[in-house]
Amino acid sequence: TNIENGSVKWESPSNIALVKYWGKKKDQIPENPSISFTLSDCKTITEITFTKKERTGFSFDIYFEGEKNEAFKPKIQTFFERIEIYMPFLKDYHFKIETSNTFPHSSGIASSASGMSAIALCLMSIERSLSLVEVTDEVFNQKASFLARLGSGSACRSIEGELVVWGKNESIEASSDLYGVKFEGEVHSNFKNYQDTILLVDKGEKQVSSTVGHQLMYGHPFAKERFSQAHDNLAKLKTILASGDLNEFVKIVESEALTLHAMMMTSMPYFILMKPNTLEIINKIWAYRQKTDSKVCFTLDAGANVHVLYPENEKESILEFIKNELVSYCQNGHYICDQIGLGANQI
């Protein structure tokens, strides 16, 4: 093409899995299907400025929160190598990638989902501006998700909202291992504006990278059972999302979180990624549920932080509960209020 330069900008959210992805095959193909809530406020904002150059190797610079960043370079280099066959123009341009997060850096919140999906969307917009072919939004989103998956598996669930399924599952016809699809099933009004308050228990570096974590599912004694359980839980969740049965929702979501951690505790080598305060919080949530008719529950990613999930009509009481009983277990009293969101936006 003869376009010399331009710039594109996207904001893309983080997501929190209800049924967890843990274990992958070659080319970032998940061993089991997963489903997540797209978040609303925890986002990465990325602008890519592209300038025509000689067709040599890949050329890019990354600025994170205004400062030139070398640490992210190898990840982006690997990402470019993986996606070049789907984005043949990558070597024709120099890319200046400027990125920032709405949530604090080193908060222990994984920024790979929002970060990789934002870059994938920017590259899709560049492709769109360079090409003479029109693509529908559906095709655009699908390819963006496909590319994001090659950056970081869970990133493919950050393109759209409010619920996204990734990984082939019988109960969800459009589902695919290659990209995330918007969950098109019926969703009861109980899940409208579902809340996620993220309690930052440990803001440190992750003890185990997710790359290493996924690998630990190779030859894991319980892997086969786990993968089949995820299929069952997704099918059950589909029914629960339609019926609005929050008691059943709580059971699946909490069991998924603990199972993820159980997989890490029973792999070789083994890890405990929860901290004492993670357990304190879980016990407080259980006690609170016992003495009230609250439907509050927790979920966890591969770390110590706790996502507290609850329906919108409990917002006031749960925030009060969090302030009174849970904040003391957060590092520097730090927590982030978010809710289910609609997906990425071009800006």
Amino acid at 31: E
Asked if 180 and 109 touch (Cβ cutoff 8 Å), the reply is: no
Q: Is 12 a binder of ligand PMV (CB under 6 A)?
A: no
Q: What is the DSSP letter of 219?
A: T
Q: Is 46 a binder of ligand PMV (CB under 6 A)?
A: no
Q: Is 141 a binder of ligand PMV (CB under 6 A)?
A: no
Contact mark string toward ligand PMV, 242..271, x via CB under 6 A: ------------------x-----------
Q: Is 34 a binder of ligand PMV (CB under 6 A)?
A: yes
Hey, CA dihedral for 181, 123, 346, 107, is it positive or negative?
positive
Residues in a beta bridge with 336: 198
207-236 residues near ligand PMV, rule: CB under 6 A: 210
Nearer to ligand PMV, 107 or 210 (CB): 210
Asked if 158 and 181 touch (Cβ cutoff 8 Å), the reply is: no
Nearer to ligand PMV, 237 or 302 (CB): 302
The nearest distance, CB 323 to ligand PMV, in angstroms, is 27
Q: Is 278 a binder of ligand PMV (CB under 6 A)?
A: no
Q: Is 21 a binder of ligand PMV (CB under 6 A)?
A: yes
β pairing state of 59-64 and 93-101: parallel
Q: Phi and psi for 334 in degrees, rounded to 5?
A: -90, 130
The nearest distance, CB 154 to ligand PMV, in angstroms, is 3
Q: How far is the C-alpha of 162 from the C-alpha of 148, rounded, in Å?
A: 17
Nearer to ligand PMV, 21 or 95 (CB): 21
Beta strands of 106-244 (E only): which ranges?
163-166, 180-182, 195-199
Q: Phi and psi for 338 in degrees, rounded to 5?
A: -140, 180
The nearest distance, CB 121 to ligand PMV, in angstroms, is 17
Residues near ligand PMV (CB under 6 A): 17, 20-22, 34, 112, 152-154, 210, 260, 301-302
